[in-house]
Amino acid sequence: MLIKKSADILPSEITPRRVYEGRREFVRQLGRVALLAGAPALPLAARAQSAAKIPGLKKSAFSTTEKQTPYKDVTTYNNYYEFGTDKADPARTAGTLKTRPWTVSVEGAVAKPKTYGVDDLMKLSALEERVYRHRCVEGWSMVIPWVGFALSDLIKEVQPTGSAKFVEFITLADPVQMPGVRQQSLHWPYVEGLRMDEAMNPLTLLTFGLYGEALPNQSGAPVRVVVPWKYGFKSGKSLVRIRFTDQMPKTAWNLANASEYGFYSNVNPTVDHPRWSQATERRIGEDGIFSRKRATLMFNGYGEQVAQMYAGMDLRRNF
Amino acid sequence: MLLPARLSPKQNTILKVALFILSLGPVSVLTYYAVTENLGANPVEYLTRATGTWTLVFLCITLGITPVRRLTGWNWLSLTRRMFGLFAFFYVCLHFTTYLWFDQYFDAQSIIKDVIKRPFITVGFAAFLLLIPLAVTSNNYLTRKLGVKRWQNLHRTTYLICILGVIHYWWLVKRDLTQPIIYGSVVLVFLAARLLLLRKQKPKTRPRPVATTARETA
């Protein structure tokens, strides 16, 4: 059989280099769609790694009694762009992160700056278990039993000076250990920040574990912050520096898209993301295919503890 | 590359049945995952994405048939185009149902608000609506009734639909644009190939035999 000669192919008909070079990614994507759902079974190993229970945890009055999201969902459905932009990526790729030795430098406008080894930092105050609601800006939520102590305990220790107006949380950005850092998906290192009063709020948790165990890597090991009345991305993971400053920090998602992600990013059902509604949310592990989404609560249900910090502020403008 | 330009009727049937079964693969896998509770932490999001992605894949395949046929001389490929087009419609129906039912739970107010307020949903919804007349007029009866020219013109909407589909994906992505860029490039390449083919074939097409079905010339 005669096949047309390639001379008929115009240069413009040839697959462009970008598409050609993206062919593996294209095939991978096809495979991902078809097969990815099998992936949640994989990271069981993640649990074995951190199986040691942290002893002597205090119970916290701030805990919710809502049904907790299964450990498997909490640790396989993560937004942690340093390990890839797909929510299944971190559980698969975060195994390369070395969490010991690990130091956290507490610096900037403080009387007593100090670099803490993470194991010493953990001993700074009594660890407690706090079951918090966690609301992602994407419209899903979880209930997670975190382990940690109030960030204010650390702040009191380092004694901020009068010029400390904000706290900046800086995440490790190591392209060797973190495959996502090799891509330009966000501006690295990932920076998050809080106003001083927000950082001092008793709800703000310096977090070392979940489900009574050390944090798995994909959840921000070995130490992260958890700010339960704000969208999840405000809670910086795998912290290496905590810096006190008089300037409002230039935060990662705000740098990426200022019109969509403000500095405050308080959970607020009445202020929609420009591209989707924030009025409702889907509770992971609980709301199945056939359940309705549930209403999102103002300040994620923590208004009693935090609303007074924003009294008189226009939350539509300061989103 | 050593494939014949034409297939025997028997080979044609085998090809169509095989491609039909293959095209049902994604929905079978998704059903299996749904039944075995393997759709991951956020099943609704997973279903939405999977059905949306497969819609784009089938749309891209549909667009690719004619350029590939012209480059390779595999004329039998044109017999598969309608099926792939209808599978694109099938997957977009699943995509739309997932949104309507599982995501919005038939909340008319919220859906109307979404379609009006969210540009990415507006665009996706428009693409879905535009696909309906194409699916409806894909059968032999209406193809003949419309006539070659009108049928062709109507079905060239496919290009617009594909572009809207890519925009729909582009606007919903939070940050990582890799996937929309891939689909966008594929659509643009096929569109460019198509425009070039049209230009090349123009002088020859005047005295066209009436008997040819619209599907094969479109």
Compare CB distances from B182 to A4, A26, A292 and report the shortest one's residue: A26
CB contact under 8 A, A289 and B34: yes
Q: Virtual CA dihedral for A83, A88, A91, A97, nearest 10 degrees?
A: 0
Query: What's the pLDDT band for B137 if we cut at 50, 70, 90?
Result: very high
Mean pLDDT over B124-131 rounds to: 97
Mean pLDDT over A285-309 rounds to: 94
CB contact under 8 A, A3 and B72: yes
Query: What's the pLDDT band for A290 if we cut at 50, 70, 90?
Result: confident
Q: Give the span between the Cα atoms of B146 and B38, in whole angstroms.
A: 45
Per the prediction, chain A carries an average pLDDT of: 89
Compare CB distances from A275 to B47, B72, B171 and report the shortest one's residue: B171
Q: Give the span between the Cα atoms of B169 and B172, in whole angstroms.
A: 5
For residue B130, pLDDT over 70 is answered with yes
- At residue A307, the pLDDT reads 98
For residue A226, pLDDT over 70 is answered with yes
A interface test, pick of B24, B99, B104, B174 with most A CB neighbours within 10 Å? B174
Mean pLDDT over A188-215 rounds to: 98
| Helices and strands, counts by H and E, chain B | 11, 0
- At residue B174, the pLDDT reads 86
- At residue B3, the pLDDT reads 78
- At residue A14, the pLDDT reads 53
| Chain A: residue whose CA lies nearest to B195 | A13
Q: What is the pLDDT of residues A44-60, one digit of tens each?
A: 444 444 468 999 899 99
CB contact under 8 A, B41 and A85: no
Q: What is the pLDDT of residues B157-170, one digit of tens each?
A: 999 999 999 999 99
- At residue A288, the pLDDT reads 80
Burial category of A92 from C-beta neighbours within 10 Å (exposed 0-12, middle 13-18, buried 19 and up): middle
For residue B202, pLDDT over 80 is answered with no
- At residue A45, the pLDDT reads 41
Tokens standing for residue B164: 């809207």
Query: What's the pLDDT band for A206 if we cut at 50, 70, 90?
Result: very high
Owner of token pair 């809207």: B164
Mean pLDDT over A68-84 rounds to: 97
- At residue B199, the pLDDT reads 81
Q: Is the CA virtual torsion A94, A174, A52, A133 positive or negative?
A: negative
Q: What is the pLDDT of residues B56-90, one digit of tens each?
A: 999 999 999 999 998 899 999 988 999 999 999 99
| Chain A: residue whose CA lies nearest to B58 | A30
Does ipTM come in above 0.90?
no
Q: What is the pLDDT of residues A94-144, one digit of tens each?
A: 999 999 999 999 999 999 999 999 999 999 999 999 999 999 999 999 999
For residue A80, pLDDT over 70 is answered with yes
Mind telling me how many Å the CA of B114 is from chain A's nearest CA?
8
Q: Is the CA virtual torsion A94, A119, A170, A105 positive or negative?
A: negative
CB contact under 8 A, A140 and B45: yes
For residue B52, pLDDT over 60 is answered with yes
Mind telling me how many Å the CA of A294 is from chain B's nearest CA?
11
For residue A11, pLDDT over 60 is answered with no
CB contact under 8 A, B192 and A13: yes
Angle among Cα B117, B122, B127 to the nearest 5 degrees reads 175
